Structure 1
Amino acid sequence: MPLSRHRLAIAAAFATQGFVFIGLTTRLPEIKDRWDLSELGISGVLLAIVLLAGAGSVVAERLAARTASASVLRAGLVLVAVGAGLMLAAPVWAAYLAGVAVYGVGLGMVDATTNMQAVALELRYGRPILPSFHGAWTFGGLLGAALTLATADVDLAWTAGLAVLPLIVAGARFLPRDTEAATAVATGSTEIAVPWRPILMVGLGMVVFYMVDTAAQTWGAVYLDEVVDAPSRFVALATLPYLVASLAVRMAGDRVVLRYGAVPVLRVGAVVACAGLVVVTAAPTWGVAVLGFTLTGAGISVVAPLSFSAAARIAGGSVERVDAVIARFNQFNYVGGLLGAVLTGVVGKDELRYGFVVPMVLVLALLPLARWFGTGRPAAQTASPEVSAER
């Protein structure tokens, strides 16, 4: 099968993950009201999702070493569908918590395996394509935010229909595993020794990204609703322009990074994101806050794809070695998620405006960390355009 078809399938998985995630986070004000949760209560739910997603990423690493990462991705998409459906349609608190648990594990499995698939395909292409995959995530998120805006007056339980999409995408033709590489793993001949120090430094950059990204996407709608008094129909606008700006930058990111290199792109983005968060924290009206979120999305958007590309490049070696690194590297996602979702809520429990000061300051850590991302292209793997043996 041509690589372009696998690229489309992987992009669909990224888009689905973004669609469901943003479809849930933009409904946090409704969920908060439905179960009478405080900011600390929401922080507790988000903490549970982050921890369970970390466990799901570990599960993906273990399973991908024994079976096809495409199969693990399919299983994760099914869990995401079941969990998201329960979170939105649960009639009782216990059912909602069950949905949180299932969704959290599925989220981690899909996060890890979509990036395994994307990195493996980037190695075959021999040029940067990760930004456009993360752009697909953003496109899906835009659809999720648009759906929230379009169904603002619909009962929360009926919005569980968004869970149908991951079930459909689970049947896509993802990237297959190379037969010889799979045999090497089975016989224990694949070397997994990895230079973890430079990967750790790149991982810190991804922590910063997810701290900012999760703070904006998780608390943005609540911020517009409670701090700057936006009309209830428009609270999803905290996320929608943020995603539009992210999508524009990510879709141009493949070419921009190829031309200028990762280091200057990251440093400029850090400054823009910091400026955006300054606007958010000082915003006198909800319109100004939306502008701040838009700038933040434009500045921070390419950090995650460049992090995964850099980690894979530093790891080197076989696809299986890279898979193991990507699954472990994905844990930085959840450290950032903890800082963005939980710390923002805790610091801003009395005044949410103060919660956004945390990512505003820490995003500047990307300025010194950027040098670890390097400027080299991913090395092309020797592989036929037609690959077989299901991954």
Structure 2
Amino acid sequence: MVERSAQHSTGARPVVAVCRSASATPVRPYDVDVTSLSRTRIAVAAGFSLQGLVFAAIVTQAPRIKDKFDIGDGGLTGILVLVAVVSGVGSVIAGLVAERRTSAAAYRLALLTIGLGALLVGIAPTLPLVIAAFVVYGLGVGAVDAGMNMQGVRVQQAYGRSIMANFHGMWSIAGIAGALFAAGAAEVDLPLAVSLVIIAVVTWITVAVAAPHFIEAQEHDPGLSAKGLDLPWRPILVFGLVILLFYAADTGILTWSSVYLEDALDSTKSVAPLAYGAYEAGALISRFGGDFLVRRVGATKVVVTGTTVGVVGLAVVVTAAVPAMAIAGFFVTGLGLAILAPLSFAALAGAVPAKSLDVAIARMNIANYLGAILGGGLIGAAASADHLRWAFVIPLVLIPLVLLFARSFRTADAATLDAV
């Protein structure tokens, strides 16, 4: 078993060449330039941030898009479902690019694509063209989701300790920033096109600065086809199911929490959005504190605790008699569940051979969009049938299934070592 890592303080791109046995037993990188590795971590985190920024900047301006093209609620829902479906295709494409070139190339191309998608959504003059723009954006979203996690697990392996949750936390912070930007743009009557052109330019400039520091890892013959890769499907399916369950709950909460407060609990319009904010606040704490807990008690205990806390939060939401109780429940839910996604990618990294890692992440990432469609569809169907309280029983029943796979998360500990 051999691992070689070479990085130069001269500003060259970090290059990591790894050869691991199929058991994926961890070994510590050596000869790693600390300054260069820190730059790489910042660069990869910047990509996570761009994903959250662009997503929030587009989604939170949905009312303006509806007004511009006279789209009804059903039409907008159809566009969002289309984006989720196309994102799965984007994730597969990212895996193909990473397989034939590197995950750095896939990540760079994907980030440029979401910038292009934002630009096209902003300047599209007709409904067919805005739909086409959302297709471009969806391809980019799926590819970025795959690419950022490919790069994230490699940086974590180089550090030798859990840092994936922090990367996902950067997505959340940038998402808040994107929402605030969209709110400010609407307040000052900045045209939709101008606001999204700004987002696109910020994205492209950031990519130009960050991309040279991505990890250029080539761990197998680039001519090797996906059929020739050793893809262990069991961990892909196990952790993919956890991803699916999490995003089913996450999508339902983000989409319907404010509606639940307003329609089922008779909150005011100013109070209803606090449900969304409380959930995201809990998620931020979970992700920025999660890595510390993983290093202290191990990934399995963190998953069990997080899942249990999330179930308690959902139970509070379902039984809430007043808006304040539901808001507290959503906060607790975010506090518990948000750690599941980053730990699923970290656990997969410890369960598959290094040569298959990028493609495995791209395949598993498809569960993200299946979960979003499932959660949005099931909870949305219950909500539209005027059973909003029962709508949140769906994630309450589904999330405990994660506990069946908690022991599998030991591989997240195997993929990292004590802090360097």
Q: How many Å separate the matches in 2 of 1:34 and 1:216? A: 27
Deviations 1:39-60 (A, max 9, x none): 5444322221111000000111
Task: Rate the CA distance shift 1:311–1:189 in 2: closer, same or farther, 3 A.
Answer: closer
| Separation of aligned partners in 1, 2:411 and 2:296 | 10
CA–CA distance in structure 1, aligned partners of residues 256 and 58 of structure 2: 12
Shift of 1:235: 5.6
Structure 1 residues 145 and 249 mapped into 2: Cα distance closer, same or farther (>3 Å)?
Answer: same
Shift of 1:229: 5.9
Is 1:218 the counterpart of 2:255 in the alignment?
Answer: yes
Match of 2:309 in 1: 272
For the Cα contact (< 8 Å) 2:349–2:412, is it kept in 1? no
Q: 2:363 aligns to what?
A: 328
What letter matches 1:139 in structure 2?
I
Q: CA deviation at 1:88?
A: 5.0
How far off is 1:282 after superposition?
4.4
Provide the secondary structure at the position in 2 that maps to 1:185: coil
What do residues 110-143 of structure 1 show as CA deviations (whole Å, max 9, x unaligned)?
0010011011112222221111111111111221
User: In the alignment, what sits opposite 1:177?
Assistant: 216
Q: 2:344 aligns with which of 298, 303, 307?
A: 307
* Alignment partner of 1:363 is 2:399: yes
- 1:292 pairs with 2:326: no
- How many Å apart are 1:167 and its aligned residue? 1.8
- Return closer, same or farther for 1:236/1:78 CA change in 2, 3 Å cut-off: farther
Query: The residue matched to 1:137 in structure 2 has which SS?
Result: helix
Distance 2:155 2:292 in 1: 17
In the alignment, which residue of structure 1 is the partner of 2:136? 102
**Over residues 152-186 of structure 1, what are the superposed CA-to-partner deviations in whole Å (9 max), with x where a residue is unaligned?**
5355715423333322222113423246x36x334
Secondary structure (helix, strand or coil) at the match of 1:370 reads helix
Following TM superposition, by how much is the alpha carbon of 1:64 offset from its aligned partner in structure 2, in angstroms?
Answer: 1.2
Q: What is the deviation of 1:211?
A: 1.0
Does residue 119 in structure 1 map to residue 156 in structure 2?
A: no
Residue in 2 that maps onto 1:46: 80
Q: Matches of residues 176-255 of structure 1 in structure 2 within 5 Å?
A: 176-178=215-217, 181=219, 184-186=221-223, 192-223=229-260, 236-255=273-292
Please give the secondary structure, in 2, of the residue aligned with 1:315.
coil
Partner of 2:374: 339
Give, in whole Å, the separation in 2 of the partners of 1:233 and 1:84: 29
Structure 1 residues 284 and 21, CA gap change in structure 2 (3 angstroms): farther
More off after superposition, 366-375 vs 330-339: 366-375
Q: CA deviation at 1:77?
A: 1.6
Q: Is the 8 A contact 1:65 1:324 kept in 2?
A: yes
For residues 107 and 360 of structure 1, do their structure 2 counterparts lie closer, same or farther at Cα, with a shift above 3 Å needed?
same
Report the Cα distance in structure 2 between the residues aligned to 1:60 and 1:235, rounded to whole angstroms.
38
CA-CA distance at 1:256 after TM superposition: 0.2
2:385 to 350, 363, 385: 350
What's the secondary structure of 2:100's corresponding residue? coil
In the alignment, the residues of structure 1 paired with residue 199 and residue 317 of structure 2 have an alpha-carbon distance, to the nearest angstrom, of: 30
Pick aligned residue for 1:166 from 198, 203, 206:
203
Seen in structure 2, the aligned counterparts of structure 1 residues 215 and 64 have a Cα distance that, compared at 3 Å, is: same
Paired residues of 1:272 and 1:299 also in contact (CA < 8 A): yes
For 2:119 and 2:315, locate their aligned partners in 1 and report how far apart those are by CA, in whole Å: 36
Could you tell me how far apart the structure 2 residues matched to 1:278 and 1:28 are?
A: 30
Q: Is the 8 A contact 1:224 1:238 kept in 2?
A: yes
Aligned letter for 1:72? Answer: A
Distance of 2:55 and 2:298 partners within structure 1: 30
Q: Pick from 23, 31, 49: which aligns with 2:57?
A: 23
Which structure exhibits the higher relative contact order, with contacts defined as CA atoms closer than 8 Å and separated by 6 or more residues? 1
- Taking only aligned residues, the RMSD between alpha carbons, in angstroms, comes to 3.0
User: TM-score normalised to the size of structure 2?
Assistant: 0.80
Other structure's SS at 2:384 match: coil
Are the counterparts in 1 of residues 343 and 412 from structure 2 also a CA contact under 8 Å?
Answer: no
Aligned-pair CA distance for 1:284: 5.0
Kindly tell me: are residues 189 and 222 of structure 1, through their superposed partners in 2, closer, same or farther at Cα, counting changes over 3 Å? closer
Larger radius of gyration: 2
Distance 1:37 1:369 in 2: 42
Cα deviation code 1:315-370 (max 9, x no counterpart)? 0333xx21111111111111111112232222322326143322222111112221
Identity percentage of aligned residues: 37
Deviation at 1:26, TM superposition (A): 3.4
Question: Relative to structure 1, is the Cα distance of residues 99 and 293 closer, same or farther in structure 2, using a 3 angstrom cutoff?
Answer: farther
Deviation at 1:281, TM superposition (A): 3.9
Q: Which moved more, 1:8-17 or 1:168-177?
A: 168-177
The C-alpha deviation readout for 1:216-275, integer Å capped at 9, x for no partner, is 223345545655566656665343332222111211111101111122211222222223
Deviation at 1:212, TM superposition (A): 1.4
Which amino acid letter does the alignment assign opposite residue 17 of structure 1?
Answer: Q
For the 8 Å contact 2:103–2:217, the answer to whether it is kept is: no
Unaligned stretches of 5+ in structure 2?
Answer: 1-8, 10-35
Contact preservation (8 Å) 1:83, 1:98: no
Confirm or deny: 8 A CA contact 1:273 1:300 kept in the other structure: yes
Mark the runs of 5 or more structure 1 residues left unpaired by the alignment: 386-391
Contact 2:349 2:415 in 1 (8 A): no
Once the 2 structures are TM-superposed, how far is the Cα of residue 144 of structure 1 from its aligned partner? 2.3
**Closer, same or farther: CA 124–305 of 1 in aligned 2, 3 Å:** same
